[in-house]
């Protein structure tokens, strides 16, 4: 059953101040609408419960990239297409650029926003594991001002997060410190393009004098939230980089994840693939360390 447009109201304040003021006056009543790549699917299917929508599309305060000496600040309203074509993102944050390229087709990439992907809070979202390994911080805004939340603390459970009813994500901050890191990303889906992940991984590793100095590993579609594999990271850091570590890392994966069976895959398949991907990352990282 399709939705009836007469049952919905759309407000377009046109400024960030106007939007957050509306959210403050009537919290939990107005739902922000950015690119609409998720909400309009629900609307078309007659499943969008929110009847009052407030547009945050193209708000100048939520757009653009601010490049500072030690970080890049990405507006929450930036689209996947903008992420793909930004030179700093492509060069210094290739995992995020890859995730943007994996997300839907060109039409979705032109409309879908990074902030919307975060708030939608799907554990299968392609960009979220990349944000985890890059130690992203979220800048949240309301009429009370701004506050920052480490992205790793943002998701609480499936489709639940720490964003207050009167808040928006204003920007995503990424530290510019990964130039010497090895980047690894894989997405396993039903087909090569325009597929929701069965499992995806984003990982970074830094080796100094043959020893793993730092490592970050995150998985999608294996738990109610995008997941950072802290136990695996702790096992690896400080050890000599040798291929035998890959098997050890693999053994740490299963206790940390909670994959489900659904229309796209099974618990058993996701568990096996997650372990395979972590093993492949560590093996590749250590093999690269042994090259002249």
pLDDT at 145: 97
Residue 155: phi, psi to the nearest 5?
-85, 130
| pLDDT class of 3 with cuts at 50, 70, 90 | confident
Q: Say if residue 105's pLDDT is above 60.
A: yes
SS3 218: strand
SS3 120: helix
pLDDT tens for each residue of 6-58: 888 999 999 999 999 999 999 899 999 999 988 888 888 888 888 899 999 99
pTM of the model: 0.94
pLDDT at 290: 57
Low-confidence winner among 63-72, 125-134, 185-194 (lowest mean pLDDT):
185-194
pLDDT tens for each residue of 44-102: 888 888 889 999 999 999 999 999 999 999 999 999 999 999 999 999 999 999 999 98
Angstrom CA distances, 83 to 90, 102, 174, 254, 278, stand at 8, 12, 13, 33, 26
Of 264, 50, 67, 254, nearest to 171 by C-alpha is 67
The contacts found for 230-239 with CB under 8 angstroms, 24 or more apart, are 230/256, 231/255, 231/256, 232/256, 232/278, 236/205, 236/212, 236/282, 237/212, 237/213, 238/211, 238/212, 238/213, 239/211, 239/212
Average model confidence (pLDDT) across the chain? 93
CA 243 to chain centre: 29
Tell me the average pLDDT across 147-158: 96
Q: What are residue 121's DSSP bridge partners?
A: none
pLDDT tens for each residue of 207-248: 999 999 999 999 999 999 999 999 999 999 999 999 889 999
């Amino acid at each position: 059953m399709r939705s009836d447009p007469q049952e919905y109201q759309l407000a377009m304040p046109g400024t960030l101040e106007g939007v957050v003021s509306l959210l403050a006056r009537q919290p939990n009543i107005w739902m922000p609408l950015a690119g609409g790549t998720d909400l309009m699917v629900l609307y078309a299917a007659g499943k969008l419960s929110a009847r009052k929508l407030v547009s945050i599309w193209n708000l100048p305060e939520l757009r653009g990239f601010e490049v500072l000496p030690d970080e890049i600040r990405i507006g929450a309203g930036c689209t996947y297409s903008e992420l793909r074509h930004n030179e700093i993102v492509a060069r210094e944050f290739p995992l995020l650029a890859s995730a943007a390229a994996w997300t839907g087709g060109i039409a979705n990439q032109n409309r879908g926003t990074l902030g919307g992907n975060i708030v939608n809070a799907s554990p299968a979202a392609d960009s979220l594991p990349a944000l985890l390994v890059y130690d992203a911080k979220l800048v949240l805004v309301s009429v009370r001002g701004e506050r920052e939340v480490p992205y790793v603390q943002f998701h609480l459970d499936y489709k639940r997060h720490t964003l207050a009813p009167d808040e928006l994500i204003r920007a995503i901050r990424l530290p510019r410190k990964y130039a010497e890191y090895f980047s690894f990303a894989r997405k396993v889906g039903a087909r090569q393009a325009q597929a929701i992940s069965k499992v995806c991984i984003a990982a970074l590793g830094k080796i100094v004098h043959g020893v793993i100095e730092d490592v970050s590993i995150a998985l999608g579609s294996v738990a109610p939230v995008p997941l950072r594999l802290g136990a695996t990271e702790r096992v690896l850091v400080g050890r000599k980089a040798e291929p035998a570590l890959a098997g050890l890392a693999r053994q740490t994966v299963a206790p940390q994840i909670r994959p489900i069976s659904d229309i796209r895959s099974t618990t058993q398949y996701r568990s096996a693939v997650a372990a395979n991907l972590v093993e492949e990352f560590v093996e590749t990282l250590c093999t690269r360390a042994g090259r002249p």
